[in-house]
Amino acid sequence: SYELTQPPSVSVSPGQTARITCSGDALPKEYAYWYQQKAGQAPVLVIYKDSERPSGIPERFSGSSSGTTVTLTISGVQAEDEADYYCQSADYSDSSVIFGGGTKLTVL
Partner 1 sequence: QVQLVQSGAEVRKPGSSVRVSCKASGTIFTSYAFGWVRQAPGQGLEWMGGIIPILDTANYTQRFQGRVTITADESTSTAYMELSSLRSDDTAVYYCTRIFYDGSGYFYEMDYWGQGTLVTVSS
Does the protein bind partner 1 through residue 77 (CB under 8 A)?
no
Q: Can residue 45 be called a binding residue for partner 1 (CB under 8 A)?
A: yes
The yes or no reply on residue 63 touching partner 1 (CB under 8 A) is no
Asked if 95 touches partner 1 (CB under 8 A), the answer is yes
Q: Using an 8 Å Cβ cutoff, are 100 and 86 in contact?
A: yes
| Residue 95 CA: distances (Å) to CA of 2, 61, 87, 92, 98 | 11, 29, 17, 5, 10
Footprint of partner 1 (CB under 8 A) = 31, 33, 35, 37, 42-45, 48-49, 54, 84, 86, 88, 90-91, 94-102
